[in-house]
Amino acid sequence: MKKLSTLTRLLVCAGLAFVGFTAQAQDVKGSAAAGNGKVWLCVGCHSIPDYRADYPLVYRVPMLGGQNAAYIASSLAEYKKGNRKHPTMRSIAASLSDQDMADIGEYYAAQTASSPNNPLK
Ligand code: HEC
């Protein structure tokens, strides 16, 4: 009887460990449709061709449409970590979760370089 309960406990532990492992192993998967609701803050700067931001207007604001989703998500993560230094982008990225970054990456990847980054229909 004692042996069985130890075995049961072991099985429960193994089961929990497996659930934990698979949850961690899953990559955050972005959704362009979800990203659509998260870019309202970005269009003011990122959808104007040749726009420069921040006094004395030295920063060229890159166009995001058509860029690789993983690149966009990792750039945002680098701003959040502080490895990329632009102050406005750092504070914006600080408010984004990994899921937000993945969604925004997919959203912009679904655009083209010349699209005005309008919301997906
Ligand atoms: C106040 C203007 C402004 C706003 C608002 C803004 N950005 Fe930016 N963003 C910039 C500037 C300027 C740069 C270039 C900074 C640099 O050189 O690192 C940049 C760079 C980036 C980059 C790196 C692109 C590359 O080619 O390396 C990404 C990704 C990005 N922004 C995403 C976003 C997202 C997503 C939002 C909205 C949640 C947003 N930005 C809001 C001004 C802005």
CA gap 78, 49 in Å, rounded: 24
What are the angstrom distances between the C-alpha of 79 and each of 25, 48, 114?
A: 24, 21, 25
User: Is residue 62 within 6 Å of ligand 1 at its C-beta?
Assistant: yes
As a whole number of angstroms, the distance between CA 120 and CA 86 comes to 28
Which one, of 65, 62, 40, lies nearest residue 52 by Cα? 62
Task: Please report, in tens digits, the pLDDT of each residue of the chain (121 residues total).
Answer: 556 666 556 555 455 454 444 444 357 999 999 999 999 888 888 876 667 776 656 778 888 988 999 999 999 999 999 999 999 999 999 999 999 999 999 999 998 877 765 555 4
Residues, the chain: 121
Q: Whose CA is nearest to atom 15 of ligand 1?
A: 86
